[in-house]
Amino acid sequence: MTPGFDIVAQGHAALSGFGSDPRDPRIWWQAVEAAIDRTLAAVEPGRVRVIAVDATSGTVLAVDAAGTPLAAPLMYNDRVEDAAVVARIAAAAPADSAAHGPTSGLAKALALQELPGISRILHQADWIAGRLCGHFGTSDENNALKTGYDPVERCWPGWIAETGMRTGLLPRVVAPGAPIETLAPETARRFGLAGDVTVVAGTTDGCASFLATGAQQAGDAVTALGSTLTLKLLCPRPLFAPAYGIYSHRISGMWLAGGASNSGGRALASVFDAATISRLSATIDPSVPSGLDLYPLAEPGERFPVMDPAWPPRMSPRPADDAEFLKAMLEGIAAIERRGYDRLAELGAPGLRTMRSVGGGAANAAWTAIRQRMLSVPFLLALSDEAAAGAARLALGGLQATGELP
């Protein structure tokens, strides 16, 4: 760990341990309580000075004046089926806005705004932070992006009202890590924490996962090798290219640009199970190219580095040797990764300086060696692959900003 970023305690709590409905905010809060309790069991509560929350981007809920949810939240992957709502956004929003589409935060806000008794539209992280400090009505620049917030001008833009959105329902937005309020007295008592502990604005889980790795300079990149292939690169200026699925989040005084390909672990799993991938990977010589040019996808459609809902998988020719086929697939995904970072560079991003990897695929030594061969930059160990560690790092930065920590 870098100085000042040692993880001294951590606690986990799965939503499934508290009920069967992940849409129920009561279950969210029960899991938060359990995770905090388990963390505080391993550290002196008096050492806690600041708290930040990360959560899924694009999960939206409507609350009354007391912060009580008025209906089931619309989750990050829920679609608003009302085509008129999506069309109103398309007509009003600039092309480079992240608010386009039926899964955007703005589409969900429009769908929820007529609920009786509504006082505020919040994102998941906003609501959890509100439960901690008793103040419902503040969001951060990262979670607000898909709801139409302009991170360059740092405001809710005027065009949002043209969609029919009641803009008075939108939360005020501050920078990630900016102070919101101190803990609510009942929250402080519940956890045995000091009443002057500060709750700061949080971020999305994707941004938090990036911060958790220790990446902090322009050109530092993090690739997440999960069911999909997600690329993030720290840049001195923002990049917005929706035609390529590229948006930027303002974070820690810089910009986090990137995109997500539909290739990745899901494409591998469409051909081999996890045990077979592990067994075959041990027999691969990653230093010798297969000579094949595959584009592994589980089904047609790509988001980045090209945006094409009909983009075809390229999974042939298939070698007779399964290990050679797996190697060609791993090379194909690594080539998509390289094209992704090349695409960012074409649009003005700095060249790759370092690479950190997270996700299940990061543990595959053969895949790592293939990626090192194809990317030709230093691969560094991620400090952590836990998004919560990134939120803690953000909180630490907020504490330093208050002057409480040098």
pLDDT tens profile 179-209 = 999 999 999 999 999 999 999 999 999 899 9
* Same domain membership, residue 333 and residue 269: yes
Catalogue the E-assigned strands of 155-275: 172-174, 179-182, 198-200, 203-204, 220-225, 229-235, 247-251, 254-261
Q: What is the CATH number of the domain that holds 62?
A: 3.30.420.40
Say if residue 187 is in the same domain as residue 240: no
The pLDDT value given to residue 3 = 47
State the alpha helices, DSSP H only, in 113-232. 124-133, 159-162, 185-191, 205-212
**Can you say whether residue 95 is alpha, beta or left, with left for phi > 0 and alpha for psi between -120 and 50 degrees?**
alpha
Closest CA to 254 of 174, 180, 349, 146: 349
In a domain, residue 57? The reply is yes
> Quick one: the chain helix, strand, coil %, rounded to 5?
35, 15, 45
Please give the model's pTM, rounded to 2 decimal places. 0.90
SS3 of 279, please? helix
222 shares its domain with 195: no
| pLDDT tens digit sequence for 25-53 | 999 999 999 999 999 999 999 999 999 99
pLDDT of residue 245: 84
Whether the CB-CB separation of 263 and 228 falls below 8 Å is answered with: yes
Q: Where are the alpha helices (DSSP H) in 81-151?
A: 83-92, 105-112, 124-133
Residue 49 · residue 198 · CB < 8 Å: yes
108 lies in the same domain as 39: yes
How many structural domains is the chain composed of?
Answer: 2
Is residue 2 in a domain? no
Query: Lowest mean pLDDT: which of 4-13, 120-129, 169-178, 252-261?
Result: 4-13
Q: Is the pLDDT of residue 406 over 50?
A: no
On the question of pLDDT at 142 being above 80, the answer is: yes
Q: Tell me, yes or no, whether 277 and 151 share the same domain.
A: no
Instruction: Please give the mean pLDDT across all residues of the chain.
Output: 94
Q: Check pLDDT > 90 for residue 121.
A: yes
Per-residue pLDDT at 225? 94
Taking only the tens place, the pLDDT of each residue in 373-390 is 999 999 999 999 899 999
Res 318 pLDDT > 50: yes
Is residue 25 in some structural domain?
A: yes
Task: With a cut of 70, say whether residue 111 has pLDDT above it.
Answer: yes
**What integer is the mean pLDDT of 300-317?**
94
Q: Residue 139: enclosing H or E segment and its boundaries?
A: strand 138-140
151-174 residue pLDDT tens: 999 999 999 999 999 999 999 999
Based on the fold, state whether residues 57 and 194 are members of the same structural domain: yes
CB 76 within 8 A of CB 101: no
**Domain identity same for 166 and 315:** no
Is residue 347 situated within a structural domain?
Answer: yes
- Is residue 334 included in any domain, yes or no? yes
- How far the first Cα of the chain sits from its last, in Å, is 18
The residue segments making up the domain with residue 365 are 215-380
Residues 199 and 344 in one domain: no
pLDDT of residue 401: 64
Residue-level pLDDT at 1: 39
Residue 404 in this model has a pLDDT that exceeds 90 = no
3-state secondary structure of 162: helix
**Cα separation of 218 and 237, whole Å?**
10
Mean pLDDT across 7-19: 94
How far lies 353's CA from each of 32, 275, 328, 375, in Å? 36, 34, 26, 10
Q: What percent of the chain has pLDDT over 70?
A: 98
Same domain, 25 and 89: yes
